[in-house]
Structure 1
């Protein structure tokens, strides 16, 4: 049967900051239809505030509105569809925002994170089985955010949108693993495939970027260079493994990094999602080096490079969606590394908030005052 749930709904993506005043996210009671045969209903225990959410709020990435926001989180399963046999009520799960059909060309070649069916349904604000399970109290359809919509007390999702996790893991900490950890650590470990002794520049030190620092240390990089426009982030970057830090606003930064690394880094990883960061990344790589980008710039922005330079120096530019992760493989192994103390992502959490603080929380994120906050919708 359908249930009611308090949720964060965005209906207008043109409201200006401060969001504490304009309130782009309205906290509403919504109706959630029961899960279909291949879906599960989850009581959300924690949802991370991410720049990808912020890009929906400020309109830089267009999603179908009205929409129940939230794509990074964790919770406890409270109901399963009739065809779901490998998940049971009471299981703890981490959400991940790219379910897969298992049958399209991308899935068949072992790249479920870029499933073609998932991309099509997420773009429509729907679930994999088609349509929405969400509506407001007047019966109007609400769209799903990347098939997750976890800034809600409850969320109904495709079975493929969750990964069962060990109950020994703190479930609020686990919220970060469905986006920030997979994207940042995965970009370094899976997409770049760094090796011990490599030099790596991480550009952009938000939640994803700091996970990139952690991933570079985990992978054995010898030189880990943190680059950002905000030097206040350098203290945390060094605590997590950065060997050097540079302010990208300094006109000499690229020259100084190239001198430090004797010609450039092996890998420059853009985790900022803005074109200036991509330009910096390309300028930083050596002969035979690679740019990896997991940052999502606003729609229709363009990045250009010197084609002759790309060929003559055999450079590479690689896109990394969701850290090139296979969630059912990577979320458990990253959680194991977290429990061993080798992925200290809990150090990125700056606070836990309720719905009352959510709009202000996005002000803090936009202003660079915090890395990650965890919304506890059932608190």
Structure 2
């Protein structure tokens, strides 16, 4: 059945988001409709409004959400009405070379569902009946959303949905970069550049994995204070140093792992330069397509350094989302503390403004 819903929409790059009344069509074969309970406000959503992530408007935003299944399409197995689910903005066909090699986050067919569902169509229409694209095959910054089952992960019902939502992006991206991409060993020394929602989770990922030293780097003292709460042993305020990499090497002797969570070529260079011999720099942030990074090539073989990327924390969502929520339930992962403020959907513009100003660890839109 079709449902009326409020949704946060990007109508034009470079303009503020707006809240609109839309129609969400019921599920087709292999799809489910969820009543969204909560959706995180992520910098990637902001990047879609600026054109840094070039999803064509008009676009229903939102990719980090949790909700309850209210309708199941034909042929769907493993999901029933009433199930709690977390959205995943990566489609995983399960059949391509990357999926069968155990790298579903690199699914060769995922690009078919960047701003539509996998079949190339959408289930969202505006008040004039015109189709609306959806962020990352999700478009979950709305009261209802219809998604393909490949973009949904069923989770335990005893986890608050506003907490579970964060696993869909910020937590998976940050913690996953540590656990999956880097494989950080206990006793390692690490640095995290950029303490936003993702960087904060990289910090707590390092702490959970047993890092000996964790250096948080940012230009916002409030964010650095948050980093200490999440496990940072040292902080570097960029307002107080000329060369962060040099300061990190002086403090640690060179880190084993550096995580770039900003999305800027110059910061990637700093992360790489902060490494000790045998160190690995992991690029987590999403940079502008024209941005470039320069490194001294000789250091790759001579110091056996590694520079690698991490997309959604090298996730296997069906495995990793429940695993992360299990760590939360065991008291080993902070989710409650990540949510600095909640908003109604009518306060979406304020939620984006607060994110831009650096006010929140994570702002979350909570639906009735």
TM-score by length of 1: 0.94
Alignment deviations for residues 326-368 of structure 1 (CA, whole Å, 9 cap, x no partner): 0110111100110111101221111110122111111110111
In structure 1, list runs of 5 or more residues that go unmatched: 16-23
Q: How does 1:120-131 map to 2 (within 5 A)?
A: 120-122=112-114, 125-131=115-121
Which residue of structure 2 lines up, in the alignment, with residue 254 of structure 1? 245
1:162-177 correspondence runs (5 A): 162-177=152-167
In the alignment, structure 1 residue 59 sits paired with structure 2 residue 51: yes
Distance 1:358 1:252 in 2: 37
CA distance in 1, matches of 2:189, 2:223: 20
The alignment status of 1:75 with 2:87, answered yes or no, reads no
Q: How does 1:201-212 map to 2 (within 5 A)?
A: 201-212=191-202
Residue 303 (str. 1) matches residue 293 (str. 2): yes
Match of 1:227 among 203, 206, 217: 217
Q: CA deviation at 1:254?
A: 2.4
Query: Counterpart of 2:8?
Result: 8
Question: What is the aligned length?
Answer: 367
Structure 2 distance, partners of 1:228, 1:195, is: 24
1:214 lines up with 2:196 in the alignment = no
Contact 1:8 1:27 in 2 (8 A): yes
Q: How does 1:207-356 map to 2 (within 5 A)?
A: 207-249=197-239, 250-262=241-253, 264-356=254-346
Map of 1:36 onto structure 2:
28
Q: How many Å separate the matches in 1 of 2:83 and 2:93?
A: 22
- Map Cα deviations across residues 159-210 of structure 1 (whole Å, 9 max, x no partner): 0111111111011111100000100000001100001110010111001101
Partner of 1:86: 78
| Alpha-carbon distance between aligned partners in 2 of 1:184 and 1:345, rounded to the nearest angstrom | 13
CA separation in 2, counterparts of 1:353 and 1:12?
23
Gaps of 5+ in 2: none
SS of alignment partner, residue 141 of structure 1: coil
- With 249-258 and 95-104 compared, the bigger mean Cα shift is at 249-258
Distance, in Å, in 1 between the alignment partners of 2:41 and 2:193 is 20
Whole-angstrom CA distance in 1 between matches of 2:352 and 2:289: 21
Question: Retained in 2: the 8 A contact 1:71–1:149?
Answer: yes
Counterpart of 1:30 in 2: which secondary structure? strand
> Quick one: distance in 1 between partners of 2:357 and 2:101?
40
Shift of 1:27: 1.3
Tell whether the 8 Å contact from 1:211 to 1:345 is kept in structure 2 after alignment.
no
In the TM superposition, what whole-angstrom CA distance separates every residue of 1:263-305 from its partner, at most 9, and x where no partner exists?
x100001111122221210110011111101110122211121
From 103, 112, 117, give the equivalent of 1:111.
103
Question: Which aligned pairs between 1:133-212 and structure 2 lie closer than 5 A?
Answer: 133-212=123-202
In 1, Cα distance between equivalents of 2:113 and 2:139: 14
Question: d(CA) in 1 for partners of 2:283 and 2:132?
Answer: 32
**How big is each residue's C-alpha offset from its partner over 1:83-138, in whole Å with a ceiling of 9 and x where there is no partner?**
1120100001111111201111211211111112112321xx21112211111121
Contact 2:348 2:365 in 1 (8 A): yes
The question of whether the paired residues in 1 share the 8 Å contact of 2:176 and 2:313 is answered with yes
Counterpart of 1:18?
none
Q: CA deviation at 1:252?
A: 4.4
